[in-house]
Amino acid sequence: MPVSDPNKLITKADKLTKLSLTRWSADWRNATLLYEEAASLFRVAKKNEKAKEAFEKASKGQEMLSSPWDAAKHMESAAALAKELGNWNEVTDFYRRASELYMECGRPQPASDALAKAARALEDAMPEAAVQMYNDASAILEEDGKEQMAFDLYRAATSVYVKLEKYSDAASSLLQLGLAADKCNATNSQCKAYLGAIIVYLYAHDVKQAEKCYNDCSQVDAFLRSDQNRCASKLLSAYTEGDIEEIKRVVQSSTVSNLDHVVIKLARKLPTGDVSALKTDAGKEEEEPLDENDLT
């Protein structure tokens, strides 16, 4: 049996969807079958641009047939081809549309997965869009009560934020991971995330924010009693004392070695700023007690 010409299949399908004097209603069922066949043939022939367009049309057809699941699948196929072609805006649009279609049929897991696929594809070309996709994917899972499935998404977002040198956002992402871990009693992941956030602040040489983060996280009993808390305490004490050797010793500890790879890489570069100035500042505070008579 001869292989059909996909171009002719597209032409035939297009005619079935257009109204005319002789066709008063569109035949989406048969048109969609033709679009799907053409898309597969184009893809096998490595004609990615045409395959992408055919999958778009097939997705539209499945929508018209009230089948959002199949429409989403075809939209993901179009997105994957857009990735091959380096059409990053289309990658964003197609995966986001696929996610919306999965949500229409009440399937948050594949809806989140579609956004995560987009994020991974966009990390190098459009990192800002990638972190937004990771965060949106996490939000879908959390709304569905599947916080544990969002852990890797928060880690991936943290990694991209670090590449962008957005250290405050990276720390916030780790704190969100800690909060998600708390909701599903994943104590070890929670404590590692909190220590990770403190290390990210120290890498950015924001020692005051690192201390604030430590104090806030220490309100959580599980963290207060953890190895990660003891490690953070030693690290912050070493900063206060301006002890570079102690900082270097603490970041080589097994507690730090068990953190996420992106955090370990930052930790091993500590200290990043002038810690001797911190010791001087701490000394001044000790030497200059508050004079209650001097209210100026």
In a domain? residue 104? no
Task: Tell me how many domains the chain contains.
Answer: 1
**Would 15 be classed as within a structural domain?**
no
pTM for this predicted structure: 0.89
- Note the pLDDT of residue 283: 52
Residues 6 or more apart in contact with residue 176 via CB below 8 angstroms: 138, 154
Residue at 44 is within a domain: no
Helices (H), the chain: 6-17, 28-44, 48-64, 68-85, 88-104, 108-122, 127-143, 151-163, 167-183, 187-203, 207-217, 221-224, 227-240, 244-250, 254-257, 261-267, 275-287
Residue 207 has pLDDT above 90, yes or no: yes
In a domain? residue 108: no
Q: In whole angstroms, give the CA distance from residue 291 to residue 288.
A: 8
Tokens coding 137: 């994917």
Is residue 87 included in any domain, yes or no?
Answer: no
Is 118 among the domain residues?
Answer: no
Range of the domain at 178: 146-272
Tell me: the pLDDT tens digits for 167-191?
999 999 999 999 999 999 999 999 9
pLDDT tens digit sequence for 58-108:
999 999 999 999 999 999 999 999 999 999 999 999 999 999 999 999 999
Query: What residue has token string 């780790």?
Result: 174
**Reported confidence tier of residue 295, pLDDT bands at 50, 70, 90:** very low
pLDDT at residue 231, as a whole number: 98
DSSP state, 4? P
Q: Residue 290: pLDDT above 60?
A: no
Question: CATH number of the domain that 221 lies in?
Answer: 1.25.40.10
The reply to whether 197 falls in a domain is yes
Q: Per-residue pLDDT tens for 235-287?
A: 999 999 999 999 999 999 999 999 999 999 999 999 998 887 776 555 555 54
Question: What integer pLDDT is reported at residue 278 of this predicted model?
Answer: 72
184, 148 in Cβ contact below 8 A?
Answer: yes
Confidence of residue 1 (pLDDT cuts 50, 70, 90): very low
Is residue 47, in this structure, part of any structural domain at all?
Answer: no
